[in-house]
Structure 1
Amino acid sequence: MQTTLTSKGQVTIPRDVRQHFGLKQGMAITFEIEGDHIALRPARSSRQAQASGFGLIKSRRKGVPVDLDVASLVTDAP
């Protein structure tokens, strides 16, 4: 498949390619340089980025003070 680059640097992604990869109007995509090739991929959405669950649970405990001296917590064993 071939397409033409416009004077504004735009290209039309062929319909078959859009359908194959599920690209929809308004979706964000990324361009990556891979050696002598350009890879175009759907950008990860914030939903996909949160799939790990990291940072989703909030603690009810108070935070540790910024000026806490960890060494002051160490005690000598008997």
Structure 2
Amino acid sequence: MEATVAERGQITLPKPVRDALGLSKGTILKVELEGSRIVLRKSVDDAVSRARGRFKLEGFGDTDAAMRAVRGEAADAPNGDATP
């Protein structure tokens, strides 16, 4: 696959690349140089940062209780001391 650098230094990533990485308008890419190579990396931290704090743990008093439920530990057991 190839991409051509436009007059203003822009390139268009081929659609198969965008689709494979789930890139859409507004996706932040990190640009790095490795010798004579340009490396583009999808900024995963950005997606995590945007989602942080947006979801509620309905039915659980706190994050620890939710994690115990996911792990199948007893609800009233202290942290890390439950038996499955």
TM tier, shorter chain?
0.5 to 0.7
RMSD, aligned α-carbons: 2.1
Paired AA for residue 47 in structure 1: V
Kindly indicate whether residue 46 of structure 2 is the aligned counterpart of residue 45 of structure 1. Answer: yes
**TM-score, with length taken from structure 2:** 0.52
Structure 2 SS opposite 1:45: helix
Q: How far 1:6 moved relative to its partner?
A: 0.6
Q: How far 1:24 moved relative to its partner?
A: 1.1
Q: How far 1:46 moved relative to its partner?
A: 5.8
What is residue 21 of structure 2 aligned with on the other side? 21
Q: Which runs of 4+ in 1 moved over 3 A?
A: none
- Provide closer, same or farther for how the CA distance between residues 3 and 36 of structure 1 changes in structure 2, counting only shifts above 3 A: same
What is residue 79 of structure 2 aligned with on the other side? none
Q: Unaligned 5+ residue runs, structure 2?
A: 53-84
Q: Unaligned 5+ residue runs, structure 1?
A: 52-78
Structure 1 SS opposite 2:20: helix
Identity of paired residues, percent? 35
Q: Which has the higher helix share?
A: 2
How many angstroms apart in 1 are the aligned matches of 2:10 and 2:31?
13
Paired AA for residue 29 in structure 2: I
Structure of larger gyration radius: 1
How many angstroms apart in 2 are the aligned matches of 1:25 and 1:46?
13
Query: How many residues end up aligned between the 2 structures?
Result: 50
Q: How far 1:47 moved relative to its partner?
A: 1.9
How many angstroms apart in 2 are the aligned matches of 1:40 and 1:28?
10
